[in-house]
């Protein structure tokens, strides 16, 4: 599988978990999309820092664009890239944020850690 196929699969899986498996329905809420707009801005900033400086490199055969490290630095915009990083990074970022929030809400509805305790672990208490 290519990076693009895995990214699309991650978005479909996260969306299915949100809408049908956990029934949190975040994708239908305006507040989610507002929060995601803020998150995606900072994702693009960090992608630009890491990919633009050459810390992270992608194989041109595995992404939508064709740029490979041997061809020089990637373009800031174009050739399947946004802020130096491949557009697939936005797919993975979206899936990660959606799944994190979906599980947070789902566990919260079930009362997980509703009354957190501070201090040493329970097995060390006397």
Q: Is residue 114 domain-resident?
A: no
- What is the spatial distance between Cα 93 and Cα 44, in angstroms, rounded to a whole number? 10
Contact 48, 84 (CB under 8 A): yes
**Residue % of the chain over a pLDDT of 90:** 56
Report pLDDT for 94.
97
Residue 40 lies in a domain: yes
Confidence of residue 11 (pLDDT cuts 50, 70, 90): very high
Is residue 110 in some structural domain? no
Within a domain: 119: no
Residue 78 lies in a domain: yes
Alpha-carbon gap, residue 12 to 22, rounded angstroms: 14
> pLDDT tens digits, residue range 33-80?
999 999 999 999 999 999 888 898 888 888 887 766 667 778 889 888
**Pairing mode, if any, of strands 81-82 and 77-78?**
antiparallel
Q: d(Cα 12, Cα 19) in Å, to the nearest integer?
A: 10
Q: Is residue 126 part of a domain?
A: no
Domain that holds residue 53: 3-105
Please state the domain count of the chain.
Answer: 1
pLDDT surpassing 70 at residue 116: no
Residue 117 lies in a domain: no
- Domain assignment present for 121: no
């Amino acid at each position: 599988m290519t990076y693009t196929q895995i990214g699309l699969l991650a978005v479909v899986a996260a969306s299915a978990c949100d809408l049908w498996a956990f029934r949190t329905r975040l994708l239908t809420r305006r507040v989610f999309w507002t929060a995601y707009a803020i998150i995606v801005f900072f994702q693009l900033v960090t992608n630009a820092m890491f990919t633009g400086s050459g810390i992270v490199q992608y194989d041109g055969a595995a992404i939508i664009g064709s740029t490979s490290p041997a061809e020089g630095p990637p373009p800031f915009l174009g050739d399947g890239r946004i802020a130096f990083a491949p557009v697939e990074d936005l797919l993975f970022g979206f899936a990660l944020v959606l799944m994190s929030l979906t599980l947070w809400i789902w566990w919260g509805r079930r009362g997980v850690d509703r009354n957190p305790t501070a201090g040493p672990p329970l097995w060390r208490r006397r």
